[in-house]
Amino acid sequence: MEKAASEGGIYMNIVYHERGRVFHLFNDSVSYIFMVLPHGGLGSLYYGKALRDREGFEHIFERVHRGMTACVFADTRSYSLDAIRQELPTYGSSDFRRPALNVLQENGSRILDLQYAGYRVMDGKPKLAGLPATYAEAETEAKTLIVEVQDALTGLRAELLYTIFATGGALARSVRYINDGTEVLHLQKVMSMSMDLPDADYDWLQLTGAWTRERHIEIRPLTTGITAIGSRRGHSSGQYNPFAALLRRGTTETRGEVLAMSLVYSGNFEMLAEVDNHGTTRLQAGIHSTDFDWKLVPGAQFQTPEAVLVWSDDGLNGMSQTYHRLYQSRLVRGQWREKVRPILINNWEATYFDFTEEKLLTIADKAAECGIELFVLDDGWFGARTSDYAGLGDWTVNRDRLPNGIDGLAEKIEARGMKFGIWVELEMVNEDSNLYRAHPDWVLSVPGRRKSLGRSQCVLDFSRKDVVDNIYGQMEAILASGKVSYVKWDMNRSITECWSHALPADRQGEVFHRYILGLYDLYERLTTKFPHVLFESCASGGNRFDPGMLYYAPQTWASDNSDAVERQKIQYGTSICYPVSSMGSHVSVVPNHQVNRMTPLHTRANTAYFGTFGYELDLNKLTAEEIAEVKEQVAFMKKYRAILQFGTFYRLQSPFEGNVTVWMSVSADQKTAIVGWYRTLNRVNYRFERVKLAGLLPDALYENSLSGARCYGDELMNYGLITTDGTAGEPNAENGLTTDFESRIYVLKAVE
């Protein structure tokens, strides 16, 4: 295989074979191969395990005569685009499958003929204008191929960007469109990536749910037709996460082939797999085409969001770990990228809107006693905000509630040895607010039509620069003193009546995307001006948990549902694509405020450890014994959070498949492993049980923190960690009494 050397002997390369006009992107793990087709378009050939480079791969290209088709070349019946695998398919010229690009032209036609026009290769990875994306800090970390195709009649030019990283099975794709012609074009569908696979022998995995049960795992076989997910809510949504994977039949967490796609975008999106009647699969991801219409005037450009593909033959864990490493270190940015997260307490479920400075300080006193590091003041500190009916949009402190202001409260919190943070919802406005009274046209609404309200609030028109500038100015004034160290950025409703008072009729199809660009602009400005602030994104919990947000905020509140049992499903599903360090997770009060369940305090903590960790309750209402337990939990998290948040994470047993959930994190040197074991319902006189671990050193001897037993790594990975219970109600020497909603944390340390 032809090699291009990089640091530490790692290699990657992008090779163009002139004879067959074939591109080969490869590293140690994967190859991605496509070609210039005989008619001038681009054709998909291969994405999978690394292949040795050779003089060409054009022999992989397949074509065959199919009846009832139209053909591109008049002299052949075996060249219909409907039966050819492609990289940027359009509709109307013999391909009847879903297009990746749809462009309305001035004469009403949507027909395009995109011809190969050249390529260039660059070391590293270019930024995407106005959009979040993965990045390379050194040119040796990645190579990028930019392939140009052009439609001669309209002058539309497309630059397809392919980035391969030096390590792992990840490939980043996006497209930039440039209008080099003289007519106005309307982009009506612009997929970030499209790829045709040679067969359909896959199961489709998606992360789905709703508010308070986000990112549950669903798997079903691909069949002839279209399997699709998406959001038209103005945000990526809790209904469907912008992630999907194809699994070879029989794939498990530890073995089997996976091909996944993740969209670095926070707005309306769609992902699909179309299986045609000859068994090939078209895979696509990008901005949702419904309600999208972008006016591309001569000389203008449009950049699609980035799609990140990952291939692995090490099962779901192998795929997930590739995303974890990439997103943790080359999507998240700034001072908090690799820093452990502070243990926080949030006052929301302790007080809701009913608080005073004195009440907050009594909670802070107890938090400081327990060793908590960050106090977060949630909703209700600003404007006329004593309920969710008023105040949003007026980001000035309510002096009736906080007579010493934000800075005064922050100083008192810092005097107790903690940092201070606030909650905001910058994209929303109440009609009962000074901002709305001054600028009613700043909300997304249609003149003469009723406005739909969600949580008594309207959505500000972030497609407008003057609106974004206003909110930036208000936030800049709050953060300028340096007293706020953390911001929880919420978004509590979907977008309806998506119409901007500032745009003409022929640009209203741009509003959804312009809104997201405005959101990204505000995040970029605030995070650049205040790099020390830890931002946590939130959208009624996990309704905008996506890679686009992680580019600006290194963690996201995983769900408004903080029940430990429900969180095991949510966090398990989230980990399919997202690293543990990105998951906002707290210990909350019981009975739980979402499901009214009573779970043990240790189970709530044992679940929340695998995330950012914090508390959402009034510590003053706990017993002395519970406070002692909280202190132990805080000490444990401080000791092990680097491994819990940044270690290699393995899913071992799924809450979607049984009564027991198991996962683990392993330190970089593989000498320490932390295993979380969770059982939903108790069992009576149950069978002997063990769980096979992963990621350990086979020859290392590990000591079990619960039993004191010493076992070698190969034994723990091949025979397993014993987790057997005793008879219900009887004490178990190793694991204690058995109850419903039980859990254990095993710390395994290699001994000399």
CA Rg value for the chain: 27
pLDDT band of 729, cuts 50, 70, 90: low
- Asked if pLDDT for residue 457 goes beyond 90, the answer is yes
Residue 312: is it exposed, middle or buried by C-beta count within 10 angstroms (0-12/13-18/19+)?
Answer: buried
Tokens of 62: 């397949």
Calpha distance 583→589 (Å, rounded): 19
pLDDT tens-digit series, residues 507-529: 999 999 999 999 999 999 999 99
pLDDT tens-digit series, residues 639-658: 999 999 999 999 999 999 99
Does residue 424 contact residue 395 with C-beta atoms inside 8 Å?
yes
pLDDT tens-digit series, residues 63-113: 887 777 787 775 677 788 988 999 999 999 889 999 999 999 999 999 999
The Cβ of residue 635 has, within 10 Å, a number of other Cβ atoms equal to 12
- Asked if pLDDT for residue 480 goes beyond 70, the answer is yes
Paired residues of 243 in beta bridges: 262
User: What's the distance, CA 704 to chain centroid?
Assistant: 34
pLDDT at site 109: 97
- Give catalytic status of residue 560 as yes or no: yes
pLDDT at site 752: 82
Catalytic residue among 151, 379, 461, 490: 490
| Mean pLDDT over the full length of the chain | 95
Calpha distance 614→605 (Å, rounded): 9
Percent residues over pLDDT 90 in the chain: 91
Paired residues of 244 in beta bridges: 206, 261
- Asked if pLDDT for residue 319 goes beyond 50, the answer is yes
Residue 597: is it exposed, middle or buried by C-beta count within 10 angstroms (0-12/13-18/19+)?
Answer: middle
User: What's the distance, CA 28 to chain centroid?
Assistant: 26
| Closest listed residue to residue 322, CA positions, set 124, 172, 201, 160 | 172
pLDDT at site 1: 35
Calpha distance 58→676 (Å, rounded): 49
Ranges 78-87, 191-200, 474-483, 711-720: which has the least confidence: 78-87
Helix ranges (DSSP H) in 505-620: 511-529, 547-550, 564-574, 601-608
| Closest listed residue to residue 631, CA positions, set 602, 655, 658 | 602
The pTM of the full predicted model, rounded to 2 decimals, is 0.96
- Asked if pLDDT for residue 562 goes beyond 50, the answer is yes
Tokens of 227: 């399997």
Calpha distance 667→658 (Å, rounded): 27
Q: Per this entry, what is the length of the chain? A: 752
Q: State which H helix or E strand residue 628 sits in.
A: helix 624-646
Does residue 480 contact residue 406 with C-beta atoms inside 8 Å?
no
Catalytic residue among 82, 394, 560, 563: 560
Tokens of 564: 């430990």
pLDDT at site 8: 43
pLDDT tens-digit series, residues 400-442: 999 999 999 999 999 999 999 999 999 999 999 999 999 999 9
Calpha distance 576→571 (Å, rounded): 9
pLDDT at site 725: 79
pLDDT at site 67: 76
Paired residues of 345 in beta bridges: 375, 615
Calpha distance 384→429 (Å, rounded): 12
pLDDT at site 728: 55
pLDDT tens-digit series, residues 218-232: 999 999 999 999 999
Tokens 């949630």 — which residue? 378
- Asked if pLDDT for residue 581 goes beyond 60, the answer is yes
pLDDT tens-digit series, residues 2-16: 444 444 445 899 999
- Asked if pLDDT for residue 571 goes beyond 70, the answer is yes
pLDDT tens-digit series, residues 700-712: 999 999 999 999 9
Over residues 226-255, the mean pLDDT reads 97
- Asked if pLDDT for residue 42 goes beyond 60, the answer is yes
Calpha distance 400→384 (Å, rounded): 9
Calpha distance 307→312 (Å, rounded): 17
- Give catalytic status of residue 123 as yes or no: no
Paired residues of 454 in beta bridges: 457
Residue 509: is it exposed, middle or buried by C-beta count within 10 angstroms (0-12/13-18/19+)?
Answer: buried
DSSP string, 473-522: HHHHHHHTTS---EEEE---S---S---TTS-GGGGGGHHHHHHHHHHHH
- 676 phi, psi to nearest 5 deg: -100, 125
Q: In what order do the strands lie in the sheet with 30-36?
A: 12-17, 22-27, 30-36, 42-49
DSSP string, 95-116: --S--SEEEE-TTS-----EEE
The Cβ of residue 149 has, within 10 Å, a number of other Cβ atoms equal to 24
- Asked if pLDDT for residue 30 goes beyond 90, the answer is yes
Over residues 497-501, the mean pLDDT reads 98
Percent residues over pLDDT 70 in the chain: 97
